[in-house]
Chains A and B, each alone.
Chain A
Amino acid sequence: MAACVASKWSMAVSRSLLGNLSSNNLGSLGKPQDLTSLGYNGLFFQQLRTFIQMRTKLKVVDNSGAKWVRCIQALKGRKGARLGDTIIASVQEAQPRGKVKKGEVVYGVVVRAAMPRGRCDGSEVKFDDNAVVLVNKQGEPIGTRVFGPVPHELRKKKHLKILTLAEHIA
């Protein structure tokens, strides 16, 4: 797991390096394919997204008061949680007057994951970031609004309340 986290961090670092590099190089070289001639392999273009596991930071996309949480445990799943799964998380940052406070241990449902998830028609979906909606033990959302797109997968997982609150179903 430490190796996973380390590789993810190095990937993030390398991606940011590439971002800086490409912004410099495009000015001087003018062609993105010249980056490979400098010795960078294609690994930079493929950022491997993995599961949501312990110490994963997730954005909170409801109005329960929390800003972001850190995953403590992924329920169901040896390697980690994916799109639509429930996790146990610890609130890291919260708004001053909210339903949850900083340091609380809460349950959450992953509504957006950067890791591609296979759909039953064979295609894959992936989102831009990792986001979670806080729920209680019974699976009902604590907040009253959900921001951003949510996937269809929640219907199968019986998180219908979240689907009704969502503003866009992807």
Chain B
Amino acid sequence: MRLEKCWFCSSTIYPGHGIQFVRNDAKIFRFCRSKCHKNFKMKRNPRKVKWTKAYRRLRGKDMTQDSTFEFERKRNRPERYDRNVTEETLKAIKKIDKIRVAREARHHSMRMKGKKAMERQAAAKELEQDIHLVKAPLALQEDPSLTLPKIKVKVSHPQAENQMEE
């Protein structure tokens, strides 16, 4: 039994799932489900289809190089069965998975690092420039609490001028 990778989305194909397509040049394409198979038949390039691992790795959204990937490389020499080795391998698989998940989470957080600051900046700019999309300008003038706090400028003889206008 061997766990293969889907040619289109790079997910693992467990036994009993999927379709294998053998092209006449003897290249074997394995698909995990009909979604990937149909996309292949439509001649879509997985590197351009957003939900595939190929796209994500190409655009740097997922980790590309890590030492945890070395453990999963394909080995063509069959190993002699040794009970201890099998036991250790099973334990190691669990540990390696945990480490890999932790590293991927860290990669994700590094990628999203400046997000909060950028969002705040964008929001402040929008409030300053595009407030007319939210509230009509006349409403803003009537009720000054809706606008940003304006800077107060001292004007000379304020009482006399106000009495004259009213």
Residues of chain A whose beta carbon lies under 8 Å from any beta carbon of chain B: 32, 45, 112, 116, 121-129, 148-149, 151, 167-168, 170
Whether the Cβ atoms of A121 and B26 lie closer than 8 Å is no
Whether the Cβ atoms of B22 and A126 lie closer than 8 Å is yes
Of all chain B residues, the one with the shortest Cβ separation from A131 is: B24
User: Is B21 in the interface zone, CB < 8 Å from A?
Assistant: yes
Whole-angstrom CA separation of A116 from B13 in the bound complex: 17
Across the interface, which residues of A come within 8 angstroms of B22, CB to CB? 112, 125-128, 149, 151, 170
Of all chain B residues, the one with the shortest Cβ separation from A151 is: B22
User: Is B59 in the interface zone, CB < 8 Å from A?
Assistant: no
Given A45-B38, A45-B42, A129-B24, are A121 and B19 also a contact pair (CB < 8 Å)?
A: no
Across the interface, which residues of B come within 8 angstroms of A125, CB to CB? 19-22
Contact with A along B98-127 (1 / 0, CB 8 A): 000000000000000000000000000000
Whether the Cβ atoms of A126 and B20 lie closer than 8 Å is yes
User: Is B93 in the interface zone, CB < 8 Å from A?
Assistant: no
Given A45-B41, A45-B42, are A123 and B19 also a contact pair (CB < 8 Å)?
A: yes
User: Is B17 in the interface zone, CB < 8 Å from A?
Assistant: yes
User: Is B78 in the interface zone, CB < 8 Å from A?
Assistant: no
Whole-angstrom CA separation of A148 from B26 in the bound complex: 7
Q: Please classify how large the interface on chain B is, using the bins under 10, 10 to 19, 20 to 34, 35 or more.
A: 10 to 19
Whether the Cβ atoms of A170 and B26 lie closer than 8 Å is yes
Whole-angstrom CA separation of A122 from B18 in the bound complex: 8
Whether the Cβ atoms of A123 and B20 lie closer than 8 Å is yes
**Could you pull out 17 A-B pairs where Cβ atoms are within 8 angstroms?**
A32-B42, A112-B24, A121-B16, A123-B15, A123-B16, A123-B19, A123-B20, A124-B20, A127-B22, A128-B23, A128-B24, A148-B24, A149-B26, A151-B22, A170-B22, A170-B26, A170-B28
Whole-angstrom CA separation of A32 from B13 in the bound complex: 27
Give A27 Cβ to nearest chain B Cβ, in Å. 15
Whole-angstrom CA separation of A122 from B32 in the bound complex: 12
Give B121 Cβ to nearest chain A Cβ, in Å. 34
Whole-angstrom CA separation of A151 from B16 in the bound complex: 18
Given A32-B42, A45-B38, A121-B1, are A127 and B24 also a contact pair (CB < 8 Å)?
A: yes
Interface centre among A121, A123, A148 (most CB of B within 10 A): A123
Whole-angstrom CA separation of A122 from B19 in the bound complex: 9
Across the interface, which residues of B come within 8 angstroms of A148, CB to CB? 24, 26
Give A116 Cβ to nearest chain B Cβ, in Å. 6
Across the interface, which residues of B come within 8 angstroms of A149, CB to CB? 22, 24, 26
